[in-house]
């Protein structure tokens, strides 16, 4: 079972996303409302997936960069109600792997995560193959 951490300043959003992930057979090992809390939970649990609200990505604490350095195999998904091209490009440049749009649609969230996990694993396998 893949482990997940949820980071969102809105308790309702954390709860809803937690339910979606749990129902999708993810083990939600932690949830918090701050980027510093996200970092601590991630170091403690080494999640496969970390869903973090745009506000925490952009709060100036560089949590995505820190997580990428410490846990390079953790897939980071930015969660937001609005995603424009500039925000997506900036997030990808920082190390975000995928995007989850609010309001949550369970099947879309799970499909997004699943497809990103599959692509990541394939990329890792290709990198590990000898020439």
* Residue pLDDT, tens place only, 101-128: 999 899 999 999 999 999 988 988 888 8
CATH 3.40.50.2300 is held by the domain 3-128: yes
> Rg of the Cα trace of the chain?
14
Using a 10 angstrom Cβ sphere, with 0-12 exposed, 13-18 middle and 19 or more buried, the burial of residue 25 is exposed
Residue ranges of the domains in the chain? Answer: 3-128
pLDDT attached to residue 7: 96
Question: Closest Cα to residue 96, out of 44, 38, 40?
Answer: 38
Task: Say what the pLDDT of residue 129 is.
Answer: 79
CB 80 within 8 A of CB 102: yes
Q: Tell me: pLDDT of 60 over 90.
A: no
pLDDT at 124: 86
Average pLDDT over residues 41-66: 94
β-pair type (27-32, 75-80): unpaired
Report d(CA 80, CA 55) in Å as an integer.
8
């Amino acid at each position: 079972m893949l482990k997940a951490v949820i980071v969102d300043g809105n308790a309702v959003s954390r709860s809803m996303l937690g339910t979606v992930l749990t129902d999708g057979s993810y083990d939600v090992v932690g949830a918090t409302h701050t980027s510093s809390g996200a970092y601590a939970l991630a170091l403690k649990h080494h999640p496969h997936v970390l869903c973090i609200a745009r506000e925490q990505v952009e709060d100036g604490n560089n949590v995505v960069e820190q997580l990428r350095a410490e846990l390079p195999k953790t897939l980071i998904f930015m969660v937001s109600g609005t995603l424009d091209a500039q925000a997506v490009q900036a997030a990808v440049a920082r190390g975000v792997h995928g995007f989850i749009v609010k309001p949550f649609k369970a099947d879309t969230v799970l499909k997004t995560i699943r497809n990103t996990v599959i692509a990541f694993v394939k990329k890792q396998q290709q990198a590990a193959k000898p020439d």
